[in-house]
């Protein structure tokens, strides 16, 4: 195992910045997820860590020592790509042992490591098959096994589950989480799927346009987003955001938009008459009257996702999404009462979290 430190990593392709001053520490044995939309620099950063692409500025430390001068082979990292990249003419056993053979392991050592890895990934019965005889999930296990078989210091995974269907992705996610607990290897994992990130990651790094927006645990990222990008990117459906001003009435602060106002509860803010955005997640809104906040919205659509429903409505001119129990029934055009707990509000000024 090993800990990894990235210091001010920057990279440009021509005149286009791909990464800008990215700094990160991945602890020994930690499962760290790089999360962000397509084109945000996640895979570029992973390639730089692997040594497949040089950074323009910054340095990479492995266990406190710079590895900038080392080739990919010398860095002792294993990488799993989005494509399985298996050798079609080789059996599963031969695919697993290929990297070991290139490093000069004996037949006995290779056989022992292949059997051990196959047991860990539950693919012992597939060792004599070729890739064309495997399902997508089985091919992905083999691809992970080929990286895992030599026990690298760091395990790099670049969207390894994106080619799998939704049900299989969920199954392999659970297996990958269990595998990490067993091998306790440091993992750097790239995905654009927020559910994947929140399920797998012990640490989540949210990137956009080559910059880090927030680093934290899944709970911190979800419950205390650093800015409006994180607030709306993490969470499905995304957080409701309303634009307006903070005003002081008596000894209480309120948020006022052109269509409605919200009591902000017991908060201390030096933001009177400033333009802000107030956010609240769909699951933090209730139907019915409340002493604290009374609002009425007009139902526009109801989405049934099985375990619950999402009511999409208009609050004045503002769109709002509210999570509802699966047994409720609302009609399009119906006026519904909404109640909000001020302690669940997220307040942003110029895109950044305050309060």
Q: What is the pLDDT of residues 309-339, one digit of tens each?
A: 999 999 989 999 999 988 888 899 999 999 8
> What's the token pair of residue 92?
């599963």
Whether residues 195 and 288 share a domain: the answer is: no
Furthest-apart CA atoms within the chain: distance in Å: 81
Same-domain status, 286 and 156: no
Q: What is the DSSP letter of 64?
A: T
Per-residue confidence (pLDDT) for residue 120, from 0 to 100:
81
Answer yes or no: do 224 and 263 share one domain.
no
A 10 A CB-CB count for 8 gives 13
**Ramachandran quadrant class, 61 (left: phi over 0; alpha: psi -120 to 50; beta: rest):** beta
CA 320/CA 334 separation, integer angstroms: 14
* Phi, psi values for residue 300, rounded to 5°: -110, -30
What CATH number is attached to the domain comprising 337?
A: 2.40.50.140
| Per-residue confidence band for 268, with pLDDT thresholds at 50, 70 and 90 | low
pLDDT tens-digit map of 92-147: 999 999 888 888 888 898 899 899 888 888 889 999 999 999 988 888 888 888 88
How do residues 11-64 score in pLDDT, each as one tens digit?
999 989 999 999 999 999 999 999 999 999 999 999 999 999 999 999 999 999
Residue in the block written with tokens 């590895």: 67
**Coil, strand or helix at 98:** helix
Residue 269: the pLDDT is 66
Residues 246 and 215 in one domain: no
Residues 260, 216 share a domain:
no
Tell me how long the chain is: 355
Same domain, 173 and 305: no
Q: What is the pTM of this model?
A: 0.88
Same domain, 96 and 229: yes
Round to whole Å and give the CA distance between 26 and 45. Answer: 13
- Please state, in angstroms and rounded to a whole number, the distance separating the CA atoms of residues 237 and 232: 9
Same domain, 218 and 340: no
CA distances in angstroms from 108 to 98, 104, 111, listed in the order given: 14, 12, 5
If asked whether residues 134 and 229 sit together in one domain, one would say yes
Residue at a domain's end among 233, 268, 284: 233
Q: Answer yes or no: do 68 and 209 share one domain.
A: yes
Task: Give the CA angle between residues 228, 229, 235 to the nearest 5°.
Answer: 95
Express each pLDDT in 171-219 by its tens digit.
778 888 888 888 888 999 999 999 999 999 999 999 999 999 999 999 9
Number of folded domains that form the chain: 2
Region at 235 (left for phi over 0; alpha for psi -120 to 50; beta for the rest)? left
Cα(4)–Cα(76) distance, integer angstroms: 13
Pairing of strands 318-325, 308-315: antiparallel
Q: What is the pLDDT of residue 289?
A: 65
CA–CA separation, 296 vs 95, rounded Å?
A: 61
CA angle 287, 289, 290 (to 5 degrees): 110
Which residues contact residue 157 at a Cβ distance below 8 angstroms, ignoring those fewer than 6 apart? 79, 80, 144, 187, 188, 189, 190
pLDDT at 145: 86
In which domain, by residue range, is 261 found?
241-354
Q: Specify the pLDDT at position 291.
A: 55
Domain end among 207, 233, 259: 233
Do residues 299 and 272 share a domain?
Answer: yes
CATH code of the domain containing 113: 3.40.50.300
* Comparison of pLDDT for 71 and 150, the residue scoring more: 71
Specify whether 84 is located in the same domain as 209. Answer: yes
Q: How confident is the model at residue 240 (pLDDT cuts 50, 70, 90)?
A: very high
């Amino acid at each position: 195992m090993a800990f990894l430190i990235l210091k001010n990593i920057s990279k440009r392709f021509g005149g286009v910045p791909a990464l800008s001053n990215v700094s990160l520490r991945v602890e020994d044995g930690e499962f760290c997820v790089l999360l962000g939309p397509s084109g945000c620099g996640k895979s570029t950063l992973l390639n730089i860590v692997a040594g497949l692409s040089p950074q323009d500025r910054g340095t990479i430390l492995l266990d406190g020592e710079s590895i900038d001068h080392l080739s990919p082979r010398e860095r002792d990292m294993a990488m799993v790509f989005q494509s399985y990249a298996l050798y079609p003419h080789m059996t599963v056993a031969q695919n697993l042992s290929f990297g070991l053979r290139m490093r000069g392991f004996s037949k006995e050592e290779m056989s022992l490591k292949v059997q051990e890895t196959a047991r860990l990934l539950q693919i012992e019965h597939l060792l004599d098959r070729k890739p064309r005889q495997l399902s997508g999930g089985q091919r992905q296990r083999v691809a992970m096994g080929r990286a895992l078989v030599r026990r690298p210091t760091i395990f790099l995974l670049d969207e390894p589950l994106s080619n799998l269907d939704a049900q299989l992705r969920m199954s392999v996610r659970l297996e990958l989480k269990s595998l990490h607990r067993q091998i306790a290897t440091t993992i750097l994992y790239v995905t654009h799927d927020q559910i994947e990130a929140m399920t797998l990651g012990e640490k989540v790094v949210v990137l956009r346009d080559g910059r880090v927006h927030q680093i934290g645990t899944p709970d911190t990222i979800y419950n205390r987003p650093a800015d409006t990008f994180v607030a709306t990117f993490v969470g499905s459906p995304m957080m409701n955001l309303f634009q307006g001003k903070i005003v002081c009435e008596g000894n209480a602060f309120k948020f006022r938009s052109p269509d409605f106002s919200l009591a902000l509860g017991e908060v201390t803010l030096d933001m009177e008459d400033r333009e802000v955005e107030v956010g609240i997640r769909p699951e933090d809104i209730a139907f019915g009257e409340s002493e604290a906040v009374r609002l009425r919205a007009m139902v526009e659509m109801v989405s049934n996702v099985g375990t619950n429903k999402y009511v999409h409505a208009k609050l004045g001119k503002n769109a709002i999404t509210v999570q509802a129990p699966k047994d409720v029934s609302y009609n399009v055009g119906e006026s519904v009462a909404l109640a909000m707990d001020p302690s669940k509000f997220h307040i942003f000024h110029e895109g950044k979290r305050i309060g």
